[in-house]
Amino acid sequence: MAFSTSQTERNGIRLVGLHEENGANIWIANDFGGMLYGFEVRNPAGEMVDVLDKYPDVVTLQAKIDKTFMGCKLSPFACRIPGGKYFYDDVEFEFSKKGDDGAAIHGLLYDKPLTVVDFFADDEQAQVLLKYNYKEEEDGYPFSYRCEIKYSLQANGLLQLQTTIINLDDLEIPLVDGWHPYFRLTDSLDDLCLSFNSGAMIVFDERLVPNGEIVHYDEFQEMKRLGDTVFDNCFLLEESVSAPACVLRNDKTGLEVRIFPDESYPYLQIYTGGVERKSIAIENLSASPDAFNNGMGLLQIPPRRSQTFTVYYRAGFDL
């Protein structure tokens, strides 16, 4: 089975493509933080179907990326930091880049252009390696590090997303990593079925950050119709060697997405969006929201050392 790579432009968005012959296509918007822009699979009629929600053009992307973050890489932090403030080594830092509620949200790289370092394709996979060198660009994060993202498309619609963070600073740096894809398998979330491997939910306060309490929650450990369920919550994943941590399925069409994070992503954030409810954000995270303040899962990477984070997505019909 042959794999290939490509580069193209759609509606003003430059894209890198990974392709499986007669199989899946992956599209990456490297100019916007290495965004996962498209994940197309072939339906039983031979037509290509995208399992991701995405921005239709570059104008919409630029207007909405800092509000919806569809497909974005989250680095060096994820979710909200209230007021954009945190203490590290007894020093208070404050981000200038904040959302409408005054919180810093979803990191600093989502709108940065990543460099394409390498393409590769053979009979087993297609790969692209991207990188960005962050150099003390924001007062709230006065450190230097390199973010490397490797996308690997393998047989039968299996996509590996591997992120490596290298500390280029002379000091230890705080770090959280994550992804923010929105999956769209139909025009209404109510019709989809969901399961995820967790029995514990982190309780949020009114600012949508942890209040220190963790409660039992196992409503979706078995596959269950979403219906009118509303999520804007973070869960602790239970370890599993082979089973997916999360499955999203359209029973009417057989279209399904399975998510397999390794131990580097022990947290799962789920967001069912606003009133339209057409897509669902399923976010693999290395730490909890506001980890720079509460320390839940926060990594501290020593100088010149690295940390790697890996998640697999499999998409297709009747998997």
* 59 in Cβ contact with 12 (< 8 Å): yes
In angstroms, the CA 195 to CA 259 distance is 11
Residue ranges per domain, the chain?
A: 3-317
> What single-letter DSSP state applies at residue 141?
B
Tokens describing residue 194:
């969901």
Query: What is the per-residue pLDDT for 150?
Result: 99
Query: What is the per-residue pLDDT for 275?
Result: 65
Cite the DSSP H helix spans in 138-217. none
Query: What is the per-residue pLDDT for 65?
Result: 97
In angstroms, the CA 192 to CA 6 distance is 33
Query: What is the per-residue pLDDT for 319?
Result: 86
Tokens describing residue 130:
């991207």
Three-state DSSP state, 181: coil
> What single-letter DSSP state applies at residue 239?
P
Q: How many CB atoms lie within 10 A of CB 136?
A: 11
Query: What is the per-residue pLDDT for 1?
Result: 63
Instruction: State pLDDT tens for residues 187-236.
Output: 999 999 999 999 999 999 999 999 999 999 999 999 999 999 999 999 99
Query: What is the per-residue pLDDT for 297?
Result: 98
Query: What is the per-residue pLDDT for 240?
Result: 72
Three-state DSSP state, 68: helix
Q: pLDDT class for 241, splitting at 50, 70, 90?
A: low
Distances in whole angstroms, Cα of residue 82 to Cα of each of 85, 156, 175, 177, 289: 7, 42, 17, 18, 10
Instruction: State pLDDT tens for residues 273-288.
Output: 876 899 999 999 999 9
In angstroms, the CA 79 to CA 269 distance is 9
Instruction: State pLDDT tens for residues 90-133.
Output: 999 999 999 989 999 999 999 999 999 999 999 999 999 999 99
- The dihedral through the CA atoms of 285, 288, 289, 290 has a sign that is negative
Using omega within 30 degrees of 0 as the cis cutoff, is the peptide bond preceding 113 cis?
A: no
Tell me the sheet residues that pair with 149: 130, 163
Three-state DSSP state, 37: strand
Three-state DSSP state, 230: coil
Mean of the pLDDT values across residues 257-262?
A: 98
Query: What is the per-residue pLDDT for 274?
Result: 74
In angstroms, the CA 57 to CA 181 distance is 17
Query: What is the per-residue pLDDT for 311?
Result: 98
Residue where the block lists tokens 């057409």: 278
* 204 in Cβ contact with 82 (< 8 Å): no
* 75 in Cβ contact with 163 (< 8 Å): yes
Q: pTM for the full model?
A: 0.96
* 17 in Cβ contact with 30 (< 8 Å): no
Quick one: fold of 3-317? Answer: Beta-galactosidase; Chain A, domain 5 (2.70.98)
Of 54, 125, 138, 132, the C-alpha closest to 98 is 138
Instruction: State pLDDT tens for residues 137-169.
Output: 999 999 999 999 999 999 999 999 999 999 999
The overall average pLDDT reported for the chain is 96
Q: How many CB atoms lie within 10 A of CB 233?
A: 18
